[in-house]
Amino acid sequence: MTSVGAGVLLVEFGVFLVEDDATLTFITFLGVSLLAALGLRFSYYANRNMRQSRIESQQQIWGYLQFIGALGAIYALVWVLEIVTSIRITPKSGVWLAMIFFLVLSLRQISVTAAGGVNSSITQIDQAVRLGFIGGIVLYTALTLITGESTITALVQALTGMGFLAYGVFYFQRQTSSTRLQGTMLDSLVRHLLPVLTFGALVSIVALAIPLGTDRTIVLHVQLVFLIMTATALMTATIKLRQNLAGL
């Protein structure tokens, strides 16, 4: 283990175990490395689609999608940094929540683009929900910066994840219920994104077990399973982006 100092900052390099568990550390490293690679690949193809698509109404969709991959990769790289150095970035799960937020925004935008705008009677509710999501991310980040990870931050993380899943499923059902859109590129894309949302949201929702008394190490094992499933779902969604790019 080596140390590098710069002023008052001292960074040690080596292998720093996750929850003092060598097996969990090894699997975490493999899982987040996979996520980093697939996230960057997803973001790359989303960006290519945005640059080459001539459909103005789809530009915002591609913009949201490239943030999904980029934030997933950032989250993964933070994990890698914590494993190989003494640096600790406590609110890293806030990056994960931000990734899922852009995912539900993309599902909403696909629905609005393809099936029309949201009914005026629920527009204000929709806006309030999105503001609530931003508030949840900010609250989680602030609490972890102030108090570190705790049962309260785990609860905020889980409830925010539940909200993301419910919101995303609402727009998924709205999109798929429009028979005139079945079989279109947007319809296919949203069906590929739903598994990413489901597994990604479950990474956060599982944190609810911590306030219920479950050992954090066990929770991290389960979260890692869903993280890897999120990465594999992202890989299949990337294939759809490549197919769409080939057709432009």
- Give the DSSP H/E element, type plus range, for residue 60: helix 59-84
DSSP assignment letter at 18: B
pLDDT of the residue at 214: 94
Distance (Å, whole) CA 74 – CA 39: 9
pLDDT of the residue at 97: 98
* Mean pLDDT per 10-residue segment, the chain (248 residues): 57 89 94 96 94 84 94 97 93 96 94 70 85 97 94 97 96 75 76 96 97 94 97 94 83
Question: pTM of the prediction?
Answer: 0.92
3-class secondary-structure state, position 211: coil
Distance (Å, whole) CA 132 – CA 129: 5
Backbone dihedral angles phi then psi of residue 215, each to the nearest 5 degrees: -60, 140
3-class secondary-structure state, position 183: coil
Q: What domains are there in the chain, each with its CATH number?
A: 20-246 (1.20.1070.10)
**Cross-strand bridge partners of residue 12:** 3
pLDDT of the residue at 125: 86
- As a whole number of Å, the CA-based R_g of the chain is 19
